[in-house]
Structure 1
Amino acid sequence: MTLTVWVDDWQMQCCGESFSPGDVVSWTLVEVDPEDYADTVGDERAAGIDFREEHHGEEEGQAPTSLEVVSIAEVHCHYDVPPGATEKVNYPVPGTTVLVPVEKADGWAKIRPGVRFAGYLVTARRATA
């Protein structure tokens, strides 16, 4: 059985370790609310996200899970200030997602016109001892 894990760009850039398909990683997994990712990846893909990876101590006491990475996709989308917003804060614009399959995740992505790198969708399976 495979799982889909969201990995934030900033977490990888800060102190994440690069990984590739076939690697076994040890991640703290946190259950997600698919709605938190709907604008970034679309409703259908968001519904398929099982967990997000967390390594900044937010989930203290939770044991890491060993996973074998099956595939990695960079997620890019357009960000803008929503119409009618009172604050000048950029949010993901629904329907602008660009997925790019990659062979390595290191927190950095090639710049793509009109969109910004947001994170990774990682397909993985629980590693057996």
Structure 2
Amino acid sequence: MAVRFLEGGGMALMRVFYEDWQMECCGKPFSVGQEVGWRLVAVDGKETGNGHWQGAEAWVENHGGPKHKTVGQVRAIDVVHQEYAAHHDPRADEPAVLADLKPGTVVIRGTGRALEPVPGARTLEPVDSCPKWFGDFEEEEQPPRKVPYRVRRAVGALVTLEVPDDPGGPGRRAARTR
């Protein structure tokens, strides 16, 4: 059972989405109760309806974003899982015709799998700590399987962050600065 602290005296709670690739590239894992400082970008009102942000009001940007960081205490973490319909490309099973190629020629081949998000098929898993790597959370139907088949992947973490309850303060201002 994941630890959750949802009562904050004189503090405001905000929901922040931390995408898997942002964590895997340049992120530092964190735990419930830990103080963090992140560059946050506000979720655009047009983006809230697509479900990608899971109701978050901001997302972590490790590759740019505001110059200042929002500092707050982590109160809850949920790993976000997305279900996908996986489509198989039969051309990936065909043998490559390499006889006519010069040595050193680069040949690029598809993986044979294309993933399409299943609308409304996201789930939240409460955890005590955010993982550094999300690949361990992938689940895939095993052969024999029908096409398309289902793949469930972790796509990030939805974090409840406690920040100072000051609408004009650095925490909220950072979330609204693009």
TM-score, scaled to structure 1: 0.76
> How large is the Cα RMSD of the aligned pairs?
2.7
The residue type equivalent to 1:72 in the other structure is: I
Q: CA deviation at 1:78?
A: 1.4
Query: Partner of 2:132 in structure 1?
Result: 107
Q: Deviations over 1:78-117 (max 9, x none)?
A: 12379xxxxx863422121121001111232433453111
- Measured in 2, the distance between the counterparts of 1:116 and 1:69 equals 23
Query: Partner of 2:59 in structure 1?
Result: 52
Kindly tell me: are residues 125 and 30 of structure 1, through their superposed partners in 2, closer, same or farther at Cα, counting changes over 3 Å? same
- Measured in 2, the distance between the counterparts of 1:6 and 1:34 equals 15
The residue type equivalent to 2:121 in the other structure is: T
Query: Partner of 1:64 in structure 2?
Result: 69
Kindly tell me: are residues 117 and 67 of structure 1, through their superposed partners in 2, closer, same or farther at Cα, counting changes over 3 Å? same
- Measured in 2, the distance between the counterparts of 1:100 and 1:108 equals 15
Query: Partner of 1:123 in structure 2?
Result: 160
Query: Max radius of gyration: which structure?
Result: 2
Secondary structure at the aligned position of 1:108 is classed as: coil
Query: What stretches of structure 1 of length at least 5 have no aligned partner?
Result: 83-87
Query: Partner of 1:10 in structure 2?
Result: 21
Higher alpha-carbon deviation: 112-121 or 24-33: 112-121
Count of residue pairs brought into register by the alignment: 117
Query: What stretches of structure 2 of length at least 5 have no aligned partner?
Result: 1-11, 88-112, 141-150, 166-178
Alignment of 1:16-31 (within 5 A): 16-31=27-42
- Measured in 2, the distance between the counterparts of 1:95 and 1:52 equals 20
Secondary structure at the aligned position of 2:121 is classed as: coil
TM-score, scaled to structure 2: 0.57
Q: CA deviation at 1:40?
A: 4.7
Percent of residue pairs bearing the same amino acid type: 34
